[in-house]
Structure 1
């Protein structure tokens, strides 16, 4: 009985990881597109700083997540 529960847990974990990977890929592509389009038109340096800074923080967080997940 324990083995069946463990197998179900592993399958759910793999599905969750694949879902997280897909969401991250979509978010990263969207953020790069929006940052590229928006920063070209934006005249405020403060907004440019916040957008590029938040994008960098997100990419660093995802790099740490993938490093720890594959460790």
Structure 2
């Protein structure tokens, strides 16, 4: 047998949680050169051409898709 023992609570007893000391650690150099989200809001951009027909063929779950199409 080894002389090394592990301090564990007995089975059936409540677990004991211990918090570590709050220390700041070195996380390396900051590699970010500029702001990532410096551009304008992409939701303002128009992502499709208005004069082209809709390319979706399957009715989806959108509110407009649930309307019946008569023609």
Q: Same fold (TM over 0.5)?
A: no
**Structure whose residues are more often helix by fraction:** 1
| Higher relative contact order (CA closer than 8 Å, sequence separation 6+) | 1
Flag the structure with larger Rg.
Answer: 2
